[in-house]
Amino acid sequence: MTSAGAAFRLVRAGWILTREGVVAALPGDELSGFPKFGWRIARLLTRRRARHRQRSERLAGAVARLGPSYVKLGQFLATRPDVVGNDIAVDLALLQDRMHTFPREQAVHGIEGSLGRSVDELFVELDAPVAAASIAQVHSAQVARDAGAAKVAVKVIRPGVRKAFARDLESFFLAARLQERWIPSSRRLKPIEVTETLAQTTKIEMDLRLEAAALSEIGENTRDDPGFRVPHVDWERTGRDVLTMEWVDGIKMSDVEGLRAAGHDLPKIAANLIQSFLRHTLRDGFFHADMHPGNLFVEADGTIVAVDLGIAGRLGKKERRFLAEILYGFIMRDYRRVAEVHFEAGYVPHKHNVSAFAQAIRAIGEPIHGQSAETISMAKLLTLLFEVTELFDMQTRPELILLQKTMVVVEGVARTLDPAFNMWKTSEPVVGHWIAANLGPRGMLGDAREGVHALMSLARQAPEIAARTERLSREIDAMAEHGLRFDEATARAIGKAEARHTRSGRVALWVIALALVWIGWKLM
């Protein structure tokens, strides 16, 4: 049942978004009926000082008032341009996850509670916090090693953050349910499923052991890669609420002038960044999904060090093949093959015509080949591609959307370092090598081996599958003869659930209505 508190918090959030001009900044001219009326009212209620700000500034102002849960909501929605649109996704991606630090004593309490050992036993010295975000803050510290004291970074979960997120998630779910119920056109975007994904993503990000595991996995994958690495994890000093890793001495990639002053080859770093990202994506199927310049450092020898792996993306072999063949197809101008890959992967229903789809793909690819290489954006290409595939009933693929968002960020960082950056020339060696290794004769042998293993596994399960099939056949015969029946307890449970759903919906609507009346009275 939805609590009254969740409804009041949702009304408060809507009021703040309205006053800060976020609602008024949305493209309301395309709306009609009651939504357009509400948009016009929102424009009248916008603060005077907010009316002259850009939409990204309005979002930042609203989120600063709403708190850390809404920072994470905004950053999450930035990964879903299919839900909020590309322009708004870009604005949301600019939200800065910077919060006030919490006292060192609370950090000590969290560390000791998570690891079961005193801070004095774990660290030679634990310094004041150096950075703070919505979920955690980072301290510098010293640990004892055989060669002497070593500097480390200690990430500690913010006190009470799980309870605060759980409370705000209740409001997010209420908003999603109301949206599905009262805005039928939004149902195809599956707002409840989107909120469930946010809840799951946040839970994972709040368990620092999982971030440590992601760092460890990427560390193993990139052990022999030139010019890229991640910090080493100190597992002895890592738990659910604390992550200890090596301290990175380097220049943040956001400090372009600092990199240039240090004598770094910026075009070389840009090329290394893109090739590393594509290598992780295609070769490993596991990539850092939050590679903004604040999370990337450059060491003295030019090595890129990526930190903050709370968000990571995975691609299966089918998705990797899909991506590689699409990119290579555009490079070689083989639009028919690009179209066929969509059908082979099952992303576009077979009721559509391959040739017609290839024609739509050509409409994207040909204008690109008429431009200079420096102006061609792979991220923009993927954006246009997803817009075209939507016309052919391609279902949303969250893993591909996350990949697209990350590629937008990574490509933007590369172009900041090198305005004349040639995305296609830089990516071709990595993409071409992966295709040669996985789609050529060697790849066919690998597919054949996997097929043999799958057949052997199926053969081992044959007796169990036969037994299940026999049971299912008997149950279907019984249903055909007697019909589908619920026992008394199941029927009562269904009735109670339906009654709860109806009652909670009415309560939420009444609470929201009363809150709006109260707000109107305060304004008079």
Q: Which residues are catalytic?
A: 290
| CA separation for the pair 66, 376 (Å, rounded) | 38
Tracing tokens 């619920």 back to the chain, one arrives at 486
CB 287 within 8 A of CB 404: no
CB 201 within 8 A of CB 165: no
Indicate the SS3 state at residue 477.
helix
SS3 content of the chain, % helix, strand, coil (to 5): 65, 10, 25
| CA-closest candidate to residue 137, choices 145, 147, 150, 128 | 128
Rounded to whole angstroms, how far apart are CA atoms 392 and 308?
Answer: 37
User: Could you tell me the CA-to-CA distances from 182 to 129, 185, 240, 273, 442 in Å, in that order?
Assistant: 46, 9, 40, 45, 54
Residue the block writes with tokens 């290794």: 437
Contacts of 115 (CB under 8 A, 6+ apart): 122, 237, 239, 242
- Report the alpha-carbon angle 89-92-95, nearest 5: 155
SS3 per-residue string spanning 35-46: HHHHHHHHHHHC
Give the E-state strand segments of 146-220 in sequence order.
148-157
Contact partners, residue 246, CB within 8 Å, separation at least 6 = 150, 151, 152, 153, 231, 232, 234
Half-sphere exposure of 9 (CA within 13 A, CB side): 21
